[in-house]
Amino acid sequence: MSEAQGSAGDGVTRLIVGPFNRVEGDLEVRLDIANGAVAQAHVSSPLFRGFERILEGRDPMDALVIAPRICGICSVSQSQAAALALAGLQGLEPTRNGRIATNLIVATENVADHLTHFHLFFMPDFARAAYAGRPWFAKAEAHFKAGRGTSARRLLEARATLLHVLGLLAGRWPHTLAIQPGGVTKRAESRDKVRLLATLGAVRAVLEDQLFGAKLEQVAALAGRAELDAWRARGPDGDFRLFLEIAADLDLAHQGRAYDRFLSYGAYPAQEGALYPAGVHVAGETGVFDPADIAEDHTFSRMEERAHPHHPFQGSTVPDGADETGYTWCKAPRLSGLPFETGALARQVIEGQPLIRDLVAWAGGNVFSRVIARLVESARTLIAMEAWVRALEPEGSWCAQGQMPVRGRFAGLTEAARGALGHWVEVEGGKISRYQIIAPTTWNFSPRDAAGVPGPLEAALVGAIVHRDEPTPLSVQHIVRSFDPCMVCTVH
Amino acid sequence: MSAQFNILWLQSGGCGGCTMSLLCAEGPDLITTFDSAGIRMLWHPGLSEETGSEALAVFERVRSGELRLDALCVEGSLLRGPNGTGRFHVLAGTGRPTIEWVRELSALAEHVVAVGTCAAYGGVTAAGNNPADACGLQYDGRREGGALGAQFRSRSGLPVINVAGCPTHPNWVTETLMLLAAGLLGAQDLDAYRRPRFYADHLVHHGCPRNEYYEFKASAEKLSDLGCMMEHLGCLGTQAHADCNTRSWNGEGSCTRGGYACINCTAPEFEEPGHAFLDTPKVAGIPVGLPTDMPKAWFIALSSLAKAATPERLRRNAVSDHLVVPPTVRDIKRR
């Protein structure tokens, strides 16, 4: 049964929460509760499919069909990671148009995911009856009640409109073959460019009217916490302000802090550098990221090869259904032996967006800063997308051709909405001989490692307040959903 | 027909993409569509408020018969592994394999709907060596059987309805559910693989903007070329059952409109074509897979004739990523 309430001794109660919904895929969280707070958390990804094994032995280009189908919400991010790896194997550079169009395709998915998360997954928790006494409740209920909130419904329409960008540039979403190692399969004509701008303009209008009550540029330019306080006090009115009110009332900025170690592989490559660069951010300092420092630990994962951690190029995926020490199918990725948090917050703090830097310096990564980072990033990315559409050159070339080598290996690293996504691909005899994937939520929802160090969510849940007779503690729900987990990617 | 049509939605060995696609429903949006058809979502893992024990309480009310289950929708394949235990997906919070939940709830449902090719036939999750021993609700690839067995019939007397597609078009799902709610979908409305015929009686080839290239066998040689993708790039649009090019996706899209091959994702075992997806296998220069209902001899004869007759415009445009030669504008009064 869910929430098997039981005693774990010493006044500790155990709570098992699942099925944990309004996340992508299935999730179970085991909580040890003492003195009205979470003392320990174990996070379990209960679904194993084995995509890394499915990819073995196939033609390398088949990865573009199989890999996107790991995930229906990060589909084109998976395409891009595969395409980057295949391009690297071939020593192929995408065309300028191909790179820009790929950025547009990936950005569309990422912005759609951020908006879906805020409106459909995260905010409905504040419309729960348990909050009926709060001053903001009536508005939260009217705007975000699951299945009927007015803001959620309008967003659903705007999201469908936004995804027209993919109808035009990628054929459809999810699961497109438009992103190729050398660029994209579909040329955009001038007529497509003006249509794309109209589509983006329609989405901009909904966000500026309903979500922010302000121009996207004003959101992107937010430079410090004091400006957020002023926005909360004086407006402009919109769901952003409503969230600021709720967050202040419930002190969301002091819930769900993990290690404050952030990782980004870099998003949206361009000649002059990525829009959001690769790097790490630890203890207030931004530094370089070296993929050689990544290793996956299987100690508490139901996987064989538990003796020591492996770099993904030496990695394996051999499920061990009899393993009783393991409590999840998720492996434990570590950078230089340490757990890292990844996502919009990591991208924005590493890039140096002033508001996000200020929020992280103040209270680190938490429910509040993760959600704010996603909204600020949505505004910034939409602005960038409009410029990318204008930069497309219909008369230029779109898809460069390459030759797949008989053997080689390459890592395709990119950023999905939820953070750092990597595909480590090895080819032998013209076929895929090894394919290892680390997805964003593999980082965020990793289990403990050999040293017993919990993953970021496991750490973030410690100290979460649990009220008596709360079968599914609301604080736990806010913290879990603040990461915008994608469980189907996590294990793949 | 009762006032309200209750749906319970479960996800297992899939990617969640059919739900993500469903949320793209337009004109009207998904919630308005369901409201107007009297369709009520008892619980959906991505959209409902209820989590944990609240969600399981909904399941209990269905089990007890307190809530009528008009349709059980299952998204994702059903996982039998490891070793027949189903433990590659234990439904969170229950300690019980999802495949067992699905079997129990299917027996209570008026209709059982497989949403997507994974739930219908196993799909991509069953590809390669099928590490999770994945199958569909009532098919294991092309063979009947699967999680519920060949003999299964839901309370309505229908077998599992396979809304196949990877992913499904939002309107394939909404229209199937609206037809069921209206009592307008019967056994005769399903094709040989039990896909709703309203979309499966079409071919992806119908309405493909590359049809003129197809007619003259003016073929694309590499991705991003404008020509027909059947001869060299693995396109199965002439064999794939779906209305993608007459219905269109995300506004104006479809796979072939997006510049890449149809991989026949509504078919069982599409995940294992036996060759690289974007290559066309040939014997003596003739594609192995022939257009649907086309006799081989005629295909060969017509192809060679068509190739000989290919207009220069199509020959040149077919291997370019943009129009090199536009169609001639004629004075329509001159004969």
Residues 433-492 of A with CB under 8 A from B: 471-472, 477, 488
Contact indicator for A310, A295 with CB cutoff of 8 Å: yes
Query: Which residue in A42, A61, A65, A320 has the most chain B C-beta atoms within 10 A of its own C-beta, making it the best mutation to test that interface?
Result: A65
How many domains are contained in chain A?
Answer: 1
Residue A483 maps to a domain: yes
Cα within 13 Å of Cα(B28), Cβ side: 10
* Residues with Cβ within 8 Å of residue A171, at least 6 apart in sequence: A177, A178, A186, B249, B253, B254, B255, B256, B257, B258, B259, B260
Q: Is A47 helix (H, G, I), strand (E, B) or coil?
A: strand
Confidence check: pLDDT of A145 > 70: yes
Taking the alpha carbons of A445, A447, A449, A455 in that order, is the dihedral positive or negative?
positive
b/e per residue, A349-375, with b = 16+ CB within 10 A?
Answer: bbbebebbbbbbeebbbbbbbbbbbbb
Question: For A417, phi and psi rounded to 5 degrees?
Answer: -50, -40
Q: How many CB atoms lie within 10 A of CB B194?
A: 24
Burial (0-12, 13-18, 19+ Cβ within 10 Å), A406: exposed
CATH number of the domain bearing residue A266 = 1.10.645.10
> Whole-angstrom Cα distance, residue B303 to residue B216?
7
pLDDT-derived band at A1, boundaries 50, 70, 90:
very low
Which residues have a Cβ under 8 Å from the Cβ of B257 and sit 6 or more positions away?
A171, A186, B209, B245, B248
pLDDT at residue A7 in the model: 63
On average, the pLDDT of chain A sits at 96
Residues shown for chain B = 335
Residues 6+ apart with CB under 8 A from B329: none
Q: According to the model, what pLDDT value does residue A10 have?
A: 73
Identify the H or E element spanning A380: helix A367-391
Beta bridge partners of B253: B249
Cα distances from A283 to residues A259, A357, A361, A442, B118, in angstroms, run 9, 11, 9, 22, 45
Q: What percent of chain A has pLDDT over 90?
A: 95
Decide: helix, strand or coil at residue A301.
Answer: strand
Q: CA A372, CA A347: separation in Å to the nearest integer?
A: 12
Query: Given an 8 Å threshold on Cβ–Cβ distance, is A54 in contact with B55?
Result: no
b/e burial code for range A101-129 (CB count within 10 A of at least 16 → b): bbbbbbbbbbbbbbbbbbbbbbbbbbbbe
Contact residues, chain A, for B260 at CB < 8 Å: 171, 176-178, 185
Rounded to the nearest 10 degrees, the angle between the axes of helix A367-391 and helix A190-206 is 150
Give the span between the Cα atoms of B320 and A136, in whole angstroms: 58
- Please state, in angstroms and as integers, the Cα–Cα distance from residue A85 to each residue in A93, A415, A476, B257, following that order: 11, 14, 37, 26
Asked whether residue A1 is assigned to any structural domain, the reply reads: no
Burial grade of B172 (CB within 10 A; 0-12, 13-18, 19 or more): buried
In 3D space, the residue among A340, A347, A330 whose CA is nearest the CA of residue A276 turns out to be A347
pTM to 2 decimals? 0.97
Quote the CA–CA distance of A104 and A73 in Å, as a whole number: 16
Q: CA nearest A120 in B: which residue?
A: B47
Listed by number, the residues of chain A in 215-234 with a beta carbon closer than 8 Å to a beta carbon of chain B are none
Q: For A171, which of B15, B123, B253 is closest by C-beta distance?
A: B253
Q: Residues 41-100, chain B: which have Cβ within 8 Å of A? A: 41, 44-56, 79, 81-83, 85, 87-95, 98
pLDDT at residue A324, as a whole number: 86
For A295, the domain range is 6-491
Q: What is the rounded distance in angstroms from the CA atom of residue B204 to the CA atom of residue B207?
A: 7
Query: How far A80 CA lies from chain B's nearest CA (Å)?
Result: 16
CB contact under 8 A, A21 and B55: yes
Question: What pLDDT, on a 0 to 100 scale, did the predictor assign at position B13?
Answer: 97
Per-residue confidence in pLDDT tens, chain B, 335 aa: 457 999 999 999 999 999 999 999 999 999 999 999 999 999 999 999 999 999 999 999 999 999 999 999 999 999 999 999 999 999 999 999 999 999 999 999 999 999 999 999 999 999 999 999 999 999 999 999 999 999 999 999 999 999 999 999 999 999 999 999 999 999 999 999 999 999 999 999 999 999 999 999 999 999 999 999 999 999 999 999 999 999 999 999 999 999 999 999 999 999 999 999 999 999 888 888 889 999 989 988 999 999 999 999 999 999 999 999 999 999 888 76
Grade residue A187 by pLDDT with cuts at 50, 70 and 90. very high
CB within 8 Å: B276 and A59 = yes
d(CA B108, CA B122) in angstroms, rounded, equals 23
Tens-digit pLDDT profile for residues B215-228: 999 999 999 999 99
Q: Give residue A2's pLDDT band: very low, low, confident or very high (50, 70, 90).
A: very low
Q: Are A34 and A7 in contact (CB under 8 A)?
A: no
Q: How far apart are CA A384 and CA A377, in angstroms?
A: 10
**Chain A partners within 8 Å of B235 (Cβ):** none
Q: Which of residues 226-255 of B touch A (CB under 8 A)?
A: 248-255
Question: CA A46, CA B88: separation in Å to the nearest integer?
Answer: 7
- Check residue B332 and give its pLDDT: 83
User: Residue A470: its pLDDT value, please?
Assistant: 87
Are A469 and A458 in contact by the 8 Å Cβ rule? The answer is no
φ and ψ at residue B41, rounded to 5 degrees = -85, 110
Alpha-carbon distances of A441 from A25, A422, A487, B195, rounded to whole Å: 11, 12, 7, 35
Residues of chain A positioned with their CB less than 8 A from the CB of B258? 169-172, 176-178, 185-186
Q: Which two tokens stand for residue B4?
A: 């309200």
Q: How many CA atoms lie within 13 A of B209 on its CB side?
A: 14
Are the beta carbons of A42 and A409 closer than 8 angstroms? no
Residues A237-245 have a mean pLDDT of 98
pLDDT tens readout for residues A431-468: 999 999 999 999 999 999 999 999 999 999 999 999 98
Domain membership flag for residue A478: yes
Partner B, chain A 53-112, Cβ-Cβ below 8 Å: 53-59, 61-62, 64-66, 69-73, 75
Render pLDDT for A347-398 as a digit per residue (tens, 0 to 9): 999 999 999 999 999 999 999 999 999 999 999 999 999 999 999 999 999 9
| Domains in chain B with CATH codes | 5-199 (3.40.50.700), 202-323 (4.10.480.10)
Q: CB contact, 8 Å: A124 with chain B? A: yes
